[in-house]
Amino acid sequence: MVVFPFYFDMEVFMKKAIIALSGGIDSAVAAGIAKKEGYELYFLTVNYGQKNIEKELENSKKLAEYYGVKEHKIIDMKWLGELGNSGITDINIHFEDVPDDFIYVPYRNTCIITACVAWAEVNGADVIYTGSEAGPWICPDNSPEYYEAINNLVGISTKLNNKIKVVAPLNYSDKEGNIRKGVELGLPFEYTWTCVARDDVACGICQPCRDRLQAFEKVGIKDPIPYAKLEDNKE
């Protein structure tokens, strides 16, 4: 005879999702999508020596509170930034002087996703969400081919064989589309940061800043974060 309890703890039955959360718009929207799909959320934020780390940590903590995550891990990969050769981590590289592809951090996304998969093997999460957005995929570790390959790797390299999936729900959505999705989900954009050059005010010069400003303009809403005045940036 099967005896049903009078009540049960729903959390026991909720599927878990780990979000590779940076504190930027895209991963914050990805978290909102996972939440809407009914997952219990776990955030993983990585300090890989990015110049804007203080702001990313501040925002990721605010977003963790906003989404009511079950657990938020902040892990150290500063060695990645110490390798240099990226405008995001190398203080000697200034965005005014380098091509747009200097936003690539060598092999970063695979390192972060690997950390998420390791955690999923322990906490039983079914899915890893990232905020990777649509092309042109300047960085090779953002493309649909990359996600196909990383899922193949996860499938053959984990004990929970083929159970854990890595998804990028915004992989065919550009920044404008991501902002529209964020509006639909009620995302507090003031808790997001996109500038990779500064963490006091957004510089307005780096490629991510330019993309963000342009996208907010297209959507027709005001970006709530502070920007340096353009005349201040000309010196």
- Nearest distance in Å: CB 18, Zn ion: 28
Q: How many Cβ atoms sit within 10 Å of the Cβ of residue 79?
A: 10
- Nearest distance in Å: CB 53, Zn ion: 14
- Nearest distance in Å: CB 196, Zn ion: 6
Task: Please choose, from the candidates 227, 143, 233, 218, the residue with its C-alpha nearest in 3D space to the C-alpha of residue 180.
Answer: 218
Comparing CB distances to Zn ion, the nearer of 48 and 147 is 48
Comparing CB distances to Zn ion, the nearer of 150 and 203 is 203
Q: Mask 138-177, x = binds Zn ion (CB under 5 A)? A: ----------------------------------------
Residue 210 belongs to what H/E stretch?
helix 207-219
Task: Please choose, from the candidates 76, 127, 133, 83, the residue with its C-alpha nearest in 3D space to the C-alpha of residue 105.
Answer: 83
d(CA 135, CA 111): 21
- Site size for Zn ion (CB under 5 A): 5
* CA gyration radius, the chain: 18
Q: Mask 172-211, x = binds Zn ion (CB under 5 A)? A: -----------------------x-x-----x--x--x--
Under the binding rule (CB under 5 A), the answer on residue 25 touching Zn ion is: no
Comparing CB distances to Zn ion, the nearer of 166 and 197 is 197
> How far apart, in Å, are the Cα atoms of 216 and each of 122, 176, 184, 209, 221?
39, 7, 14, 11, 6
- Nearest distance in Å: CB 33, Zn ion: 25
Comparing CB distances to Zn ion, the nearer of 129 and 189 is 189
Tokens 């390192």 appear where? 111
Comparing CB distances to Zn ion, the nearer of 29 and 203 is 203
DSSP 49-104: --TTHHHHHHHHHHHHHHHT-SEEEEEE-HHHHHT---TTT-TT--TTTS-GGGG-
Cβ neighbours of residue 92 under 8 Å, at least 6 residues apart? Answer: 84
Comparing CB distances to Zn ion, the nearer of 148 and 190 is 190
- Nearest distance in Å: CB 72, Zn ion: 25
Tokens 């990777």 appear where? 132
- Nearest distance in Å: CB 38, Zn ion: 35
Comparing CB distances to Zn ion, the nearer of 53 and 195 is 195
Name the residues that contact Zn ion, by CB under 5 A.
195, 197, 203, 206, 209
